[in-house]
Amino acid sequence: MDNKTEIKRRIEAGEFADNNGRIIRTINVLKGKWIKLSIAQSALSEIDEGEFEQSLIYLERAEYIKVRNIATKRCVEVDSADYDACEVTLTKKGIDLALYYINDPAVKV
């Protein structure tokens, strides 16, 4: 891998970790309450829509967040979630991350 490619990769990895941290901090503001996905996305409008979804998928698979349908209260996977019909919260593991009890190099809290 050449130097230019390596620098680009590191920048992208840093942006991904920053985005993940912004999402965790935004959800953590409500201290365990559920937040509508569309509201979280609006609050984080500086994050591109595709990058926002990529981060949510990572955070869900790492078990930091849970997403559910507002009407049914059934959990759904974030990649198939309707942002206007679903809400998100931190899991215990996500709260631990937000409070610095655990670390993840892909999440810059």
Reported pTM: 0.90
The reply to whether 45 falls in a domain is yes
The whole-number pLDDT of residue 100 equals 95
Please give the pLDDT value at position 65: 98
CATH of the domain at 31: 1.10.10.10
Question: Is 107 a member of any domain?
Answer: no
Q: Which residue did the predictor score with more confidence, 3 or 68? A: 68
Domain region containing 13: 3-98
Ordered DSSP codes for 32-57: T--EEHHHHHHHTTTS-HHHHHHHHH
* 2 pLDDT higher than 80: no
Find the helix or strand (DSSP H, E) in which 86 lies: strand 86-90
Segment 87-99 mean pLDDT = 96
pLDDT band of 34, cuts 50, 70, 90:
very high
